[in-house]
Chains A and B, each alone.
Chain A
Amino acid sequence: MSEYVTYLTFFVLAAFLGYSVITKIPATLHTPLMSGSNAITGITLVGAVVVAGSGETTIATVLGFLAVVMATVNVVGGYLVSHYMLSDFHGGGE
């Protein structure tokens, strides 16, 4: 159970950190931030890899495979569209 307290600590600290990092974002970057942070959700891919990899039952392997596909769509697509959008922004002081 104690490891879950540790995980809870990670969770709470990450929530505060995320809040302080992101609050000052200008409206212009809301969409790229959203698709970029959305791509980070694809971190669940790591979980999918673990589950699909350790697949001891067929059904877990099938679910793991589907999860890998969906998470990869999320990761690859998310980072790519964010990149396209961000490279369109000019005059940001460069």
Chain B
Amino acid sequence: MVELLGDTGLSLVYLVAAILFIQGLRDMTHPRTAVRGNLTSAAGMFVAVAATVIAFEILDPAILLAGLVVGGAIGTVLAVKVQMTEMPQLVGFFNGMGGGASALVAGAEVVQLGSANGGAIPAEVGVAAAASGIIGAVTFTGSLVAAGKLHGLVTGSAIRYTGEHVVKAALLAIAVASGLYMIVQPDVLAGVLQGSAVPSFWLLLVAASVLGVTLVISIGGADMPVVIALLNAYSGLAAAGTGFVLGNSALIIAGTLVGAAGMILTVIMCESMNRSLTNVLFGGFGEAGTSDDEVDEIYEGNITETSPTEVEMLLDTASRVVIVPGYGMAVAQAQHAVAELSELLAENDVDVEFGIHPVAGRMPGHMNVLLAEADVPYDRMTELEEVNPTFAQTDVVFVIGANDVVNPLANTDDSSPIAGMPVLNVAEAGTVVVNKRSLSPGFSGIPNPLFAEDNCLMLFGDGQEMAQEVVGEYKESH
């Protein structure tokens, strides 16, 4: 079946593609070279796919072409239409597509081999197909649920029920058992059940798909950065698994690179919340909750409200300002107004920076992307470790739509759900202005004593409206 391009030729082309992927990823680790890196990686993909199409005698080019056109059109439309605020769910959705495709390819190969050999499948292919099928299907449905949560189609809160871990374990057991049966196919039953190797793969896919839903549905919105990163790693592993099924080096190398990238991001996200992966996947966040009485005790009489006019006056006398963005800024689409404010401050010789917590938002680096879209220069975005020591020398901190990532309880209360999580120590600054719509708790479900601090002023209202009003006031007085 190999015609135009020999086996060796194709392997060499895959080697070139692998080099392009690696170089592309390397370039993507610095903002200066990142655009080039992405293009390099895309070139690798083009080379690999084009060579594969040429090398294999395609049974029906029309079908293949139709698939490429349909998929390409869907991908393009989604990518062009997406708002930056919707980026997390779109990346989640694409992720699911990759995982699903891997599971289907493994399934198609099992069907092929099954029909060719009367149901017998080589053990090593069976192992790889089962792994690829399980991981791919979990990635597919898990990513769709995650995207649904981020898009507000599925509830953002964690859905917990008694015995959920038993249900998950049972589903995994069914999937693994189906995979094992497909591989082992005991001789005793040969002839009778051997042919059912293929149906057992479908059972595996169904169980794994349901497992993906149950796994993600029980995780709350605040943990989505971790989930998205983990599913990204899974989709890579699924592709690598498919590579083992098909004996294809390009799939193994590329899939593994993605798996590594996803795992690294997952670990970074977990460290940023001081939580273990098991805790994110199987434990709750904010389950503890706090009674209204306790909340009243913290906030009652200690909250100082402020207005855009007053905030403008504060900014007017400041020489250093740090803006701390959170998911609330994304929801309110306030990034452009905030960016304009930072630009105005910089023009008036104010030292202005954005202090960005690693898990602010719904995807690793979500805030950075939003701010970049609003033309905030890269060097004005500062990471947690860099910005924390500077708060003591900061006159005004403007917290917009962030809550848990500035909660001092993380440092002071060992029993708090967020205990030990690295937070932005904004209270060390001269004045803290917190913009929120209400005093409602963040995703952790706990109150924030910061709001009751003497140097903290609350600016209640929609993030975009408030930021625009502050910008308006600032322009008027300058």
| A residues neighboring B (CB under 8 Å) | 1, 3-4, 7, 10-11, 14-15, 17-19, 21-57, 59-61, 63-94
Q: Which of A1, A3, A7, A74 contacts B101 (CB 8 A)?
A: A74
Separation of A10 and B257 alpha carbons in the complex (Å): 11
Q: Which of A43, A53, A89 contacts B64 (CB 8 A)?
A: A53
With a CB–CB cut-off of 8 A, which chain B residues contact A93? 31-32
Q: 8 A-B contacts, Cβ less than 8 Å apart?
A: A17-B257, A24-B29, A31-B87, A34-B261, A49-B53, A73-B94, A74-B94, A89-B372
| For the complex of A and B, 8 pairs with smallest distance between CB atoms | A72-B71, A18-B260, A30-B365, A92-B31, A68-B67, A77-B75, A91-B377, A76-B75
Whether B21 lies near A40 (C-beta < 8 A) is yes
Separation of A29 and B28 alpha carbons in the complex (Å): 8
Which segment, of B35-43, B392-400, B411-419, B422-430, faces chain A?
A: B35-43
Known: A1-B124, A18-B260. A27 touches B45 (CB 8 A): no
Whether A7 lies near B243 (C-beta < 8 A) is yes
Q: Does B170 contact A (CB under 8 A)?
A: no
Render B51-72 as a binary contact track against A, CB cut-off 8 A, 1 for contact. Answer: 0110011111001101110111
Q: Does B26 contact A (CB under 8 A)?
A: yes
Q: Which of B44, B58, B124 contacts A53 (CB 8 A)?
A: B58
Known: A27-B358, A68-B64, A74-B98. A51 touches B72 (CB 8 A): no
Whether B75 lies near A88 (C-beta < 8 A) is no
Distance in Å: Cβ of B11 to nearest Cβ of chain A: 11
User: What range describes how many residues of B lie at the interface?
Assistant: 35 or more
* Residue from A14, A23, A86 with most neighbouring chain B CB atoms (10 Å): A14
Q: Which of B52, B235, B245, B249 contacts A10 (CB 8 A)?
A: B249
With a CB–CB cut-off of 8 A, which chain B residues contact A70? 71, 97-98, 100-101, 104
Known: A31-B365, A37-B261, A72-B75. A57 touches B42 (CB 8 A): no
Q: Which of B45, B112, B240 contacts A60 (CB 8 A)?
A: B112
Distance in Å: Cβ of A84 to nearest Cβ of chain B: 7
Q: Which of B34, B112, B248, B257 contacts A57 (CB 8 A)?
A: B112
Kindly report which residue of chain B lies nearest to residue A61, judged by CB atoms: B63
Query: Besides the contacts A32-B369, A49-B49, A52-B58, what 10 more A-B pairs have beta carbons closer than 8 Å?
Result: A32-B28, A43-B250, A50-B248, A64-B67, A65-B66, A83-B38, A86-B28, A86-B38, A88-B369, A91-B380
Whether A75 lies near B75 (C-beta < 8 A) is yes
With a CB–CB cut-off of 8 A, which chain A residues contact B102? 41, 44, 47, 67
Which residues of B213-228 are within 8 A (CB) of A? 228
Known: A34-B261, A76-B79. A52 touches B48 (CB 8 A): no
Render B376-398 as a binary contact track against A, CB cut-off 8 A, 1 for contact. Answer: 01111101000000000000000
Whether B243 lies near A80 (C-beta < 8 A) is no
Whether A67 lies near B45 (C-beta < 8 A) is no
Kindly report which residue of chain A lies nearest to residue B88, judged by CB atoms: A31
Render B432-466 as a binary contact track against A, CB cut-off 8 A, 1 for contact. Answer: 00000000000000000000000000000000000
With a CB–CB cut-off of 8 A, which chain A residues contact B260? 14-15, 17-19, 22
Kindly report which residue of chain A lies nearest to residue B244, judged by CB atoms: A7
Whether A72 lies near B68 (C-beta < 8 A) is yes
Distance in Å: Cβ of B23 to nearest Cβ of chain A: 9
Kindly report which residue of chain B lies nearest to residue A83, judged by CB atoms: B38
Separation of A76 and B76 alpha carbons in the complex (Å): 6
With a CB–CB cut-off of 8 A, which chain A residues contact B48? 43, 46
Distance in Å: Cβ of A53 to nearest Cβ of chain B: 4
Known: A14-B260, A31-B363, A74-B97. A85 touches B104 (CB 8 A): no
Whether A47 lies near B41 (C-beta < 8 A) is no
Kindly report which residue of chain A lies nearest to residue B80, judged by CB atoms: A80
Whether B28 lies near A47 (C-beta < 8 A) is no
Whether B52 lies near A77 (C-beta < 8 A) is no
Distance in Å: Cβ of B118 to nearest Cβ of chain A: 13
With a CB–CB cut-off of 8 A, which chain A residues contact B59? 52-56, 61
* Residue from A17, A29, A40, A60 with most neighbouring chain B CB atoms (10 Å): A40
Separation of A69 and B379 alpha carbons in the complex (Å): 39
With a CB–CB cut-off of 8 A, which chain A residues contact B75? 72-78, 80
Whether A34 lies near B363 (C-beta < 8 A) is yes
Known: A27-B356, A32-B28, A37-B257. A50 touches B91 (CB 8 A): no
Q: Does B107 contact A (CB under 8 A)?
A: yes
Whether B98 lies near A44 (C-beta < 8 A) is yes
Q: Does B273 contact A (CB under 8 A)?
A: no
Separation of A42 and B39 alpha carbons in the complex (Å): 15
Whether A28 lies near B53 (C-beta < 8 A) is no
* Residue from A22, A27, A41, A77 with most neighbouring chain B CB atoms (10 Å): A41
